[in-house]
Structure 1
Amino acid sequence: MKSEHTETPVTVLGLGRMGSALAGALLAAGHPTTVWNRTPGKADALVARGALRADTVADAVTASDLLVVCVLDHAAVTALLQPVAGQLAGRTLVNLTSGSPEQARETAAWAAGHGIAYLDGGIMTTPEGVGLPTSMILYSGSPEALAAHRGTLAVLGDPIDLGADAGLASLYDAGLLGLMWSVFGGWLHATALVGADGVAAGTFTPVALRWLTTVGGFLDRYAGQIDAGHYPGDDATIDVQLAAVEHLLHAGRERGVDGRLPEFHRELMAKAVAEGNGGDSYARLVDAFRRP
């Protein structure tokens, strides 16, 4: 018995590493998959696996009611789709191209003006992770489109519905990448610090990962404080943490480790203490990042 997924044709526009991974996951799940790329040769491997090659964007668009586009940027999306806007009417466009929330909202407005159901997406994995149920793909835009195609989109990764505002997937994507780089930076600094005393990264990292689980619990607690605008220092206050960061900076100086990252945290904490908020929780520092 065929699954419902095999009955849903999909077109994928753009066959870079990510676009090829998306098309490959759809093929693996049994979807009739039409592919197009500006350089036709990039479709060869997918065609060998059973994909249908479209010679033009117009041919690709008319091949399926569900279209996934993953190209360089939103300018490329516009250049591809504007000439075929009339043929897109009545279809669903899933834009997995990286961009800003403003660009996503602009594209959503353009799509609505042409009778196109629109979803904007953020792929929270590398190409190797596409198709795994543990990988998140963020979606925002038409609730009806997501409900209609959730089963198909789920073969690409776990679909996370962020709501009707088409800009939210791109906004979350940007914020989550910033979080990732901050974690990477903190881990690299810590690895350099302990490595100066001969501790291997492979020895330190399992302990670091266990610590991050604890840190995740603090994030959950602090989220409620931020939403309430109330920062009770009932765990570890800013003034206590300001004293603790000095130990980190001292250890780094003794080992010749670049201290700019913890120095930035010390600056934020010192400012909060100077403003009379030293008895608050660390979550109070969100104000340092907000627009005055």
Structure 2
Amino acid sequence: MTNDNKPRVVLLGLGAMGTALAQAWLHAGYPLTVWNRTASRAEPLRALGADVAATAAEAVAAGTLIVTCLMDDASVEDALDGADLVGRDLVDLTTGTPNEADARAVWARDRGARFLSGGIMSSPSMVGVPEAGGYVFYSGSRELLDQHESALAAVLGVRYTGSRPGSAALYDIALLSAMYGMFAGVSHAFALVREEEMPLKEFSGLLTSWLTAMLTSNDTVADQLDSGDYTRDVQANLGMLVSGFRTFEVAAREQDVDFRLLAPYLELLEERLGQGYSDEGTAGAIGLLAKSA
């Protein structure tokens, strides 16, 4: 049941994430208009009370708050081609690059719309479940976010990253990059022990607790980067780390495991060590990744 005091949300895109967002807005009592290129995906939402538009332009005409959750940036432009965006607020939750979001903000402004970019840090199952901890990075117009924060927070937590439209995408990709890097290490770890006696579920528990404990080092790295002192509070210096890492490579060969997932990181640390920074931790190597450094 919708609440007349709540603004209408217009949602374009009903993939797994878009559908979860739609269901959460309906559950929270927001009037909702939806559109999807494959029209059949909208029918279950019609049964839940959503209005279903035949075209994206028709959907946009139904409200002021327009949310896009589409395949990619090109899909956003294609879907909104011909839609009247004058006076609309466009919130783009489509996964893309920072530069794409910056360009899309200019594109929206030229069409008379305010723009907010979002990076979703959630799986569909976390949407509408506050205790699950999912949230969206938002960047761009702070005024727009303040105006619509209640509606946006009804489905996922809200975290503002700054006025640059592309910053939400940047933080989204930064966190996901760290996640996939962790997955690479986890894959390597399972490959090493896959044929040993310990049950893999037992090893999984050990792996989870170890990684959780090690994540506290993130704050130390941040402090070192902020201060420029890469030797501050170092628990294991670069000389020790590289020596140990080379042992990992030998052990991988002994276990008939390809070292390709970890080799690039060893090469990076070896390069920094070769520059004479044996007393540092790993923070100094981060500068080697920044091509402008």
Q: Which of the five TM-score ranges fits, normalised by the shorter chain?
A: over 0.9
Q: Is the 8 A contact 1:239 1:269 kept in 2?
A: no
Q: Give 1:164's aligned residue.
A: 163
Q: State the aligned residue count.
A: 289
CA distance in 1, matches of 2:23, 2:261: 40
Alignment of 1:8-27 (within 5 A): 8-27=7-26
Summarize the alignment of residues 111-260 of structure 1 with structure 2, pairs less than 5 Å apart: 111-133=108-130, 134-232=133-231, 234-260=234-260
Deviation at 1:283, TM superposition (A): 0.9
Work out whether 1:75 is the aligned partner of 2:74.
Answer: yes
Identify the residue that residue 285 of structure 1 maps to in structure 2. 285
Residue 95 of structure 2: aligned partner: 98
Deviation beyond 4 Å, 4+ runs, structure 1:
2-6
How far off its partner does 1:4 sit?
Answer: 7.4
AA of the residue aligned to 2:255: R
Range with greater deviation from structure 2 (53-62 or 93-102): 53-62
Q: How much has 1:291 moved relative to structure 2? A: 0.2
Aligned CA RMSD, in angstroms, stands at 1.9
* Structure-2 change in CA distance of 1:239 and 1:173 (3 Å): same
Q: TM-score, normalised by structure 2?
A: 0.92
Structure whose residues are more often helix by fraction: 1
Contact 1:6-1:30 at 8 Å conserved across structures? no
> Distance in 1 between the 2:128 and 2:191 partners?
34
Question: CA contact under 8 A between 2:2 and 2:31: conserved in structure 1?
Answer: no
Contact preservation (8 Å) 2:3, 2:29: no
CA drift at 1:261:
2.4
One-letter amino acid of the counterpart of residue 214, structure 1: A
8 Å Cα contact 1:124/1:138 also seen in 2: yes
Give the structure 1 partner of residue 264 of structure 2: 264
CA distance in 2, matches of 1:39, 1:244: 53
Question: Which residue does the alignment assign to 2:105?
Answer: 108
Q: Which amino acid aligns with 2:142?
A: P
Structure 1 residue 172, shift from structure 2 partner: 1.4
Report the Cα offset of residue 213 of structure 1.
2.4
Is there any run of 5+ residues in structure 2 with no aligned partner, and where?
none
Secondary structure, aligned partner of 1:88: coil
Deviation per residue, 1:176-213 (Å, 9 max, x gap): 22111100110111122122323333112222222222
Contact 1:104 1:167 in 2 (8 A): yes
Structure 1: state its 5+ residue gaps: none
